[in-house]
């Protein structure tokens, strides 16, 4: 039986073309059907052309491509579903960072947690629930892989409100592992690790090279090699003081705690001069989104004539699908799942990021145990704020949204409770029309899913 994989938000071109490329490197999928769905016909047409170009370059003549704006048609008969959507345009997204900035909350990216991440979640959840309820009805046995942020809150809500087998994927786990291996000169095939926590705030509980603890080598590189230290200043400061390395970039992690962005001099010291990607500039993703909005057609045209690289990448999706309904090769990855006996000192039922085994049996999370006590303090704060935000979103309770923002570490470090209340009120007004779960804040017309353009 040939497999069918549906891409919802297929106009997110980088994700779509890279994941399709990866899928077709597995023989089990070289006679598959790739269904591309997007609400933007122009982006959909280019995604179709890109996929067909990959098929031609690889000689995958037995692969069928369907392109449609009809989500039900895309999902019909699907074995796997990939979600890469963005709800709301740049004009509403910019409020997520510009309104908190008025109150002193200086946000770099704002797509995961804190005030910006929470309101992005509130906008995105109705569309994501619609997609997963369609999956329940149309292809209930499909495995759903989500790449849309904010990862933890969305996965927590989807896994609690639907019966879909869904997990969220983030390349920061394998990406950071490769970075650390590079710093100490270790080939990745000789590296093993255990990584757990929550999305963007997971830590390598062990990191080994040929079975030996590699943390002393990493500490030596961070402490004694300026080029290494400067590449990830925020994360390296966290490692030097907390003793475990965190998965997501310095730009993201500078937002998730109270240590780096609460005063201008701290932003100057820790956030503006790193050499890695998104070192900490305010509103970086708004600026990136503006650039992409203005240049995406030009970049697509350039890609049309660029050489095709058919080598398999490091994203997890194709490996997971291959394990579940391809050739059955087992695959272990870090995924976002609810915490039912997985991490002992994080909230029961919260969304955690832990090792997961993919096989013919589906997706089976692996028990990790306890986080080190000091890491549990940091991660519990974020996880409990996310739990509050999810409950507020599902019940339409504005008070819970305010409370979730009030306990965000960076927000609480710079704002009074009354300032936070006023900030949240402004964010609700700026999002008027995008929040149907809150009385008086829904649009008259139905919201549809567009392509993911964030980080």
Q: What span, in angstroms and rounded, lies between the C-alpha atoms of 187 and 209?
A: 9
Residue 219 burial (C-beta neighbours within 10 Å; 0-12, 13-18, 19+): middle
Instruction: Map out the domains of the chain as residue ranges.
Output: 4-170+307-311, 172-271
Neighbours of 331 (CB within 10 A): 18
Residue 129's Cα: distance from chain center in Å? 17
State the pLDDT at residue 448: 39
3-state secondary structure of 334: strand
Class (C level, CATH) for 4-170+307-311: alpha beta
User: For this structure, is 171 an active site residue?
Assistant: yes
The per-residue pLDDT for 90 is: 78
Of 378, 369, 382, the C-alpha closest to 342 is 369
d(CA 239, CA 321): 34
DSSP characters for 382-428?
Answer: HHHHHHHHHHHHHHT-HHHHHHHHHT-HHHHHH--HHHHHHHHHHHH
Q: Which of 95, 171, 273, 374 is catalytic?
A: 171
d(CA 111, CA 44): 24
Q: How many CB atoms lie within 10 A of CB 295?
A: 11
The pLDDT, as a whole number, for residue 273 is: 93
In tens digits, the chain (455 residues) has pLDDT values of: 699 999 999 988 788 999 999 999 999 999 999 999 999 998 899 899 999 999 999 999 999 999 999 999 999 999 999 999 989 877 888 999 999 999 999 999 999 999 999 999 999 999 999 999 999 999 999 999 999 999 999 999 999 999 999 999 999 999 999 999 999 999 999 999 999 999 999 999 999 999 999 999 999 999 999 999 999 999 999 999 999 999 999 999 999 999 999 999 999 999 999 999 878 888 877 777 776 666 667 767 777 778 889 999 999 999 999 999 999 999 999 999 999 999 999 999 999 999 999 999 999 999 999 999 999 999 999 999 999 999 999 999 999 999 999 999 999 999 999 999 999 999 999 999 999 999 888 763 334 344 443 33
- pLDDT in the model for residue 183: 98
How far apart are the C-alpha atoms of 418 and 349, rounded to whole Å?
Answer: 31
């Amino acid at each position: 039986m040939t497999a069918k994989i549906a891409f919802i938000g297929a106009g997110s071109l980088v994700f779509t073309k890279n994941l399709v490329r990866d899928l077709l490197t597995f023989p089990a999928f070289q006679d598959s059907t790739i269904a591309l769905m997007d609400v933007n016909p122009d982006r959909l047409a280019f995604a179709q052309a890109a996929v067909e170009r990959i098929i031609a370059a690889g000689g995958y003549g037995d692969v069928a491509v369907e392109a449609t704006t009809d989500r039900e048609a895309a999902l019909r008969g699907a074995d796997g579903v990939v979600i890469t959507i963005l709800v709301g345009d740049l004009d509403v997204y910019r409020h997520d960072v510009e309104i908190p900035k008025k109150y002193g909350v200086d946000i770099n990216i704002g797509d995961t947690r804190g005030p910006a991440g929470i309101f992005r979640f509130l906008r995105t959840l109705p569309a994501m629930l619609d997609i997963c309820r369609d999956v329940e009805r149309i292809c209930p046995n499909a495995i759903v892989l989500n790449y849309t942020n904010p990862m933890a809150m969305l996965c927590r809500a989807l896994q609690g409100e639907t019966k879909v087998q869904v997990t969220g994927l983030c390349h920061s786990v394998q990406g950071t592992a490769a970075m650390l291996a590079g710093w100490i000169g270790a080939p990745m095939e000789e590296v093993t690790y255990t990584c757990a926590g929550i999305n963007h705030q997971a830590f390598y509980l062990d990191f080994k090279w040929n079975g030996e603890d590699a943390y002393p080598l990493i500490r030596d590189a961070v402490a004694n090699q300026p080029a290494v230290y400067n590449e990830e200043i925020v994360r390296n400061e966290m490692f030097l003081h907390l003793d475990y390395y965190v998965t997501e970039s310095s730009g993201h992690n500078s937002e998730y705690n109270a240590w780096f962005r609460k005063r201008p001099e701290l932003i100057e010291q820790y956030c503006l001069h790193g050499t890695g990607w998104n070192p900490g500039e305010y509103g970086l993703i708004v600026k990136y989104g503006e650039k992409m909005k203005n240049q995406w057609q030009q970049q697509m045209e350039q890609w049309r004539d660029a050489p095709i690289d058919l080598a398999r990448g490091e994203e997890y999706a194709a490996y997971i699908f291959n394990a579940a309904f391809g050739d059955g090769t087992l695959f272990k990855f870090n995924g976002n799942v609810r915490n039912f006996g997985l991490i002992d000192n994080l909230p029961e039922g919260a969304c955690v990021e832990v090792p997961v085994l993919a096989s013919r049996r589906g997706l089976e999370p692996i028990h990790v145990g306890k986080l080190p006590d000091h890491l549990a303090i940091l991660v519990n704060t974020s996880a409990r704020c996310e739990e509050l935000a999810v409950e507020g979103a599902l019940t339409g309770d504005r008070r819970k949204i305010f409370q979730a923002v009030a306990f965000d570490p960076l927000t609480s470090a710079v704002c009074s409770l009354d300032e936070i209340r006023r900030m949240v009120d402004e964010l609700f007004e700026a999002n008027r029309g995008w929040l149907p779960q809150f009385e008086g804040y829904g649009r008259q017309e139905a919201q549809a899913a567009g392509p993911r353009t964030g980080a």
